[in-house]
Structure 1
Amino acid sequence: MASREGFFVAAYALRGSSDLDAFSNGQLEDLLAWFRQNLKIPPRFNRTKSKNDRWRQAKGLSWFKPTARQHLDKAFELAELLTRHGVAIELLKAARIGYVIYEDDHQVVAEPFADLRC
């Protein structure tokens, strides 16, 4: 079974790939630069402040808010580029995303409820 990762992780992994042609590389760099300028990096991705590794392994998932239209448009552009280069992308939607860890105007990071399979 392949591991699942966020599409930003996949994008930065592809960035270092020698398989990217110059046009795709430029497109990828432009999209990543746009996100660096327009999306905050959440300070945390889990609820715990514990130093115990067992508890720190729980990771939140990042969700774009439906009102973040420009961010969603850029995310779909990035997903399409990744798909063109062999990265499997799965769109996740959920009404109940979990325990909210961080939120801003464009995104929410939440630690999934136990019954949420992502």
Structure 2
Amino acid sequence: MFIRFVIGSLDEDSGRRQGLFQAGETLVLSGQMAVSDLEYLEVLRAWFRNNLPVPTRFAVSSKPHAKAQALSWFRDTAVEHIERMREYQRVLEEYGLRVSMLRTKRPGYIVFEDQHQVVAYPFADTPC
């Protein structure tokens, strides 16, 4: 099983619902956050930088300027990562962002994977 956290806003590249890292960055740049929440979000982001590899690919094509339309999903075995993402979710929800957690057994055509996550171009029936 694979898990993805999203908000209602669409991502420009994928055309799918935006993930929490992008939503968090937008919220940080908005200037609306309390200092304590900014600091906590930065602690969470630092944890992910140290514990989750940055995917090397987000496009189906390997061409240099291919459109990045693949989506990141946690493996359900990435328990600590999912718990931290739920903390991230709580911060975003304090500022009115509605977060949904999607689950699927078929995330799509996988273009990158590691022990904690996959990045996949969604199939027609993949929730996203």
TM-score scaled to structure 2, two decimals? 0.81
Equivalent position of 1:109 in the other structure: 119
Equivalent position of 1:12 in the other structure: 25
* Unmatched tracts of structure 2, length 5 or more: 1-7, 11-16
Which of these residues, 70, 73, 80, is aligned with residue 90 of structure 2? Answer: 80
- Structure number with greater CO (CA < 8 Å, separation at least 6) is 2
Equivalent position of 1:42 in the other structure: 55
Q: Is the 8 A contact 2:44 2:84 kept in 1?
A: yes
Q: Which has the larger radius of gyration?
A: 1
- Letter of the 1:96 partner, please give it: R
2:70 matches 1:60: yes
What is the number of residues matched between the two proteins?
115
Percent of aligned pairs with the same residue? 39
Select the structure that is richer in helix: 1
Runs of 4+ in 1 over 6 A off after TM superposition: none
TM-score scaled to structure 1, two decimals? 0.88
Select the structure that is richer in strand: 2
